[in-house]
Amino acid sequence: MASTKSSIPFTGTPEQERELMAVIAEHKEQQGALMPVLQKAQDIYGYLPIEVQEMVAAGLGVPLEEVYGVSTFYSQFSLFPKGEYRISVCLGTACYVKGSGAVFDRLSEKLGIKNGECTADKKFSLDACRCIGACGLAPVLTVNDEVYGKLTPDDVDKILAKYA
Amino acid sequence: MENVNIKINGMPYSVPNGITILEACQMNGIRVPTLCYLKEINEIGACRMCVVEVKGARSLAAACVYPVNDGMEVTTNSPALQKSRKATLELLLSNHNRSCLSCVRSGDCELQRLCHEYGVDNEERYTGEKTPSEIDDSAPHMYRDNSKCILCRRCVAACDKLQSVGVIGANQRGFKTHIGCAFDQDLADVACVSCGQCIVACPTGALSEKDDTDKVWAALNDPTKHVVVNTAPSIRVTLGEAFGMPIGTNVTGKMVAALRRLGFAKVFDTDVGADLTIVEEANEFVERVQNGGKLPMITSCSPGWVKFCEHNFPDFIDNLSSCKSPQQMFGAVVKTWYAEKNGLDPKDIVVVSIMPCTAKKFEVGRDDEDAAGVPDVDIALTTRELARMINRAGIEFAALPDEEFDVPLGIASGAGHIFGATGGVMEAALRTAVETLTGDKLEKLDFTDVRGTKGIKEASYHVAGIDVKVAVVSGLANARALLEKVQKGEAEYHFIEVMACPGGCVNGGGQPTQPASVRNFTDLAGIRAKALYDADAGLELRQSHKSPVMKVLYDEYFGKPGSHKAHEVLHTTYVARSRF
């Protein structure tokens, strides 16, 4: 397995660390502390890179692998930061049958990142999402709050160019 | 505990209240198949192999976690159950790499055995995509091939619960679920201690030691090499299992005979290294006690423990005895004293050791383990690999005569023998240290307080005006618990023995595999250890420092214990490592 350590340098601040330590201290003695601590950690940092998970593991006295196991079991947790422009491609049923898979693959190829990852310049992140309720426009993607519909893979360049 | 009356397959039984159906069956000679269940450490009822019918229950019950209650009626072997278990096996096979012909566990794979038992006649009942996986061969001691993993989590339980190492676990979910390390890093890049308890817990061929037998065959067939073998204390009481002998059979003579027939120039005994360790370590201990050195002193024979200490308790590195392990002392003596005496260039000597341990494969590559400028030990094989070599060479093990080790590095004391069991190093050290501290002959050589397979043992001995407090732990979870107490000042000792594997080397990660059906209900470590203590009890020579070989080595080469020469050849250093 290729390691899932984020190649984007960690830029956590001392304030963020203090905040995380306070959260850990608050939950330390409670059973099942890992989930709420991870949720708050993601609120603080936006994602859960190895640096953050190591702090959680050391703070709660649980193995790092246990922390990682939980963080990859639940889709709400992300191992990678979100970009300035968050691209979500709908892979819900209607979009999928209208070819959103190919749109997603083109984006992944152009940006050089996989599902859930972020480009090295932190500009774009890419996620596959479920139905966003715009089936009439299928296949659709969103960039932050902007919606793009009736897409083909060839539209990808144009959309990316708008944010370059 | 009060008993309850239950019926199993129509027969009445009285069994203790609160036990599981599986235990009740086991007690009464009824075998229920299991895969994921490991007593006390992996009771998760996940694999569904042990399902049974409980009268009145809505669905099939997992016998491994379902408690008995009064009046319960259980069926363990109906046609419906056979069908269910067979379907479970077929589903497991649908995501299993079925390269059974070449698999290292072929013949002693629990999945294979059950498929055979349940008449699985179509390995491809369910076909389709398989979970993608890669082989992790990054660590020096083992392979992980997840294409053969059935996700039973026995390895995870061994790593976390027995050892408190916790570097492997289930990542992702659903179809993508796989066992791996945090952030899917390679095993070599995390705080794995190489103990191999995951390997002996694995029911299939997903985990195995790195097979180094080809290197040994090559050395044996190289006429320019002088190939010397040495066998760790515990091998003589476990090797027989690989040839179908009862657990706890002492096969010293046959083991020596087999090694000689494999073509080794000399068949020596690591117990000599153990005797040497005791002489050096007892001396180091006495010096620390008399000169206000760092206490408690902690043993350093177990490379899994040493690496664990370096990762998790770097503050205790100065507490570790600077003595090399018996394996490394032995190799160092062969490449220095033995080489000089026999006019051999250390570069032309190949030292092969047969070890109960996968961490020994890591240890041979450590820094500062090269007294003659070349590695002290070249190749460390597990008991399993030796059995494989004996089989491949066409040697009929059971029919071999009993032979003796070669001299002089084959003459060892009973103190060396018991190194293979938890408490053995402590007892061996006490047999020497007490005499050194008091200057009087020790009348009673048995220190029974430190014997037995209990995870943590404590004892106190009044010696030469001081109370020497000792502790003995095996299993790294126990070691962690004890050291945390020492850290907090809740416990104080002069001397601590730690062995990484529960019960000591007799239960090491390199020992012959025993299926869960045996492991769950047999005191493996206890039975194997008994054979070592029996061997010790039958010997005249039971104290390391009284061994004639030690006299020769110190008279001819080292001078006295702890000498400059001894430090150069027999001692080593440690490094702090990341806790992750």
So where are chain B's domains? 3-77, 102-209, 226-570
Nearest residue of chain A to residue B183 (CA atoms) = A4
Question: Which residue(s) pair with A147 in the sheet?
Answer: A142
Nearest by CB to residue A65, choosing from B136, B167, B178, is B167
Chain A: give the shortest CA distance to residue B134, in Å: 6
**Residue B42 — φ and ψ, nearest 5°?**
-140, 75
DSSP tag of B176: G
> What b/e sequence results for A98-120 when a residue is b if at least 16 CB atoms lie within 10 Å of its CB, and e otherwise?
bebbebbebbbeebebeebbbbe
Q: Is the Cβ pair B136, A58 closer than 8 Å? A: no
d(CA A23, CA B454): 39
Q: Chain B partners of A54 at a C-beta cutoff of 8 Å?
A: 580
Residue A1: predicted pLDDT: 63
Q: CATH: 3.90.1150.10, 3.60.20.30, 3.10.20.740, 3.40.50.2300. Which one for B3-77?
A: 3.10.20.740
Nearest residue of chain B to residue A6 (CA atoms) = B183
Nearest by CB to residue B134, choosing from A1, A50, A66, is A1
Within 13 Å of residue B537, how many CA atoms lie on the same side as its CB?
9
Q: Compute CA distances B137 → A76, B16, B200, B408, whole Å.
A: 32, 46, 17, 38
Q: Is the Cβ pair B182, A53 closer than 8 Å? A: yes
Mean pLDDT of chain A: 94
Chain segment A72-94, per-residue pLDDT in tens: 999 889 999 999 999 999 999 99
Residue in the block written with tokens 């005569």? B401
Q: Is the Cβ pair B183, A58 closer than 8 Å? A: no
Chain A: give the shortest CA distance to residue B454, in Å: 25
Q: Is the Cβ pair B580, A64 closer than 8 Å? A: yes
Nearest by CB to residue A68, choosing from B165, B183, B579, is B183
Nearest by CB to residue A64, choosing from B170, B182, B186, is B182
Q: Is the Cβ pair A3, B185 closer than 8 Å? A: yes
Q: Compute CA distances B552 → B233, B337, B409, B556, whole Å.
A: 21, 11, 11, 6
**Looking at the predicted structure, is the pLDDT value of residue A113 above 90?**
yes
Q: Is the Cβ pair A3, B184 closer than 8 Å? A: yes
Per-residue pLDDT in tens (0 to 9) along chain B, 580 residues: 699 999 999 999 999 999 999 999 999 999 999 999 999 999 999 999 999 999 999 999 999 999 999 999 999 999 999 999 999 999 999 999 999 999 999 999 999 999 999 999 998 999 999 999 999 999 999 999 999 999 999 999 999 999 999 999 999 999 999 999 999 999 999 999 999 999 999 999 999 999 999 999 999 999 999 999 999 999 999 999 999 999 999 999 999 999 999 999 999 999 999 999 999 999 999 999 989 999 999 999 999 999 999 999 999 999 999 999 999 999 999 999 999 999 999 999 999 999 999 999 999 999 999 999 999 999 999 999 999 999 999 999 999 999 999 999 999 999 999 999 999 999 999 999 888 888 889 888 999 999 999 999 999 998 888 899 999 999 999 999 999 999 999 999 999 999 999 999 999 999 999 999 999 999 999 999 999 999 999 999 999 999 999 999 999 999 999 999 999 999 999 999 999 9
Query: B236 Cβ partners below 8 Å, 6+ apart?
Result: B250, B251, B252, B255, B531, B535
Q: Compute CA distances B238 → B126, B155, B228, B354, whole Å.
A: 40, 22, 21, 12
Chain B: give the shortest CA distance to residue A137, in Å: 31
Q: What is the ipTM of this complex?
A: 0.91
d(CA B138, CA B194): 12
Q: Chain B partners of A55 at a C-beta cutoff of 8 Å?
A: none
d(CA A105, CA A109): 6
Residue in the block written with tokens 């369910």? B126
Nearest residue of chain A to residue B144 (CA atoms) = A1
DSSP tag of B181: -
Residue A88: predicted pLDDT: 95
d(CA B404, CA B387): 19
* B168 and A CB contact within 8 Å: yes
Q: CATH: 3.40.50.1820, 1.10.1060.10, 3.30.70.20, 2.120.10.30. Which one for B102-209?
A: 3.30.70.20
**pLDDT confidence band for A147 (50 / 70 / 90):** very high
Nearest by CB to residue B183, choosing from A4, A58, A66, is A4
| Amino acid at site B144 | R
Nearest by CB to residue A65, choosing from B136, B173, B182, is B182
Strands B11-16 and B3-8: antiparallel
Please name the CATH architecture into which domain B226-570 falls.
Answer: 3-Layer(aba) Sandwich (3.40)
Domain A85-163, CATH homologous superfamily name and number: Glutaredoxin (3.40.30.10)
d(CA A33, CA A64): 14
Residue B463: predicted pLDDT: 85
Nearest residue of chain A to residue B166 (CA atoms) = A63
Q: Is the Cβ pair B178, A1 closer than 8 Å? A: yes
Q: What's the token pair of residue B381?
A: 């094989």
d(CA B93, CA B120): 10
Q: Is the Cβ pair A66, B166 closer than 8 Å? A: yes
Strands B349-355 and B379-382: parallel
Q: Chain A partners of B143 at a C-beta cutoff of 8 Å?
A: none
Residue B501: predicted pLDDT: 98
Nearest by CB to residue A66, choosing from B169, B184, B190, is B169
Residue B394: predicted pLDDT: 98
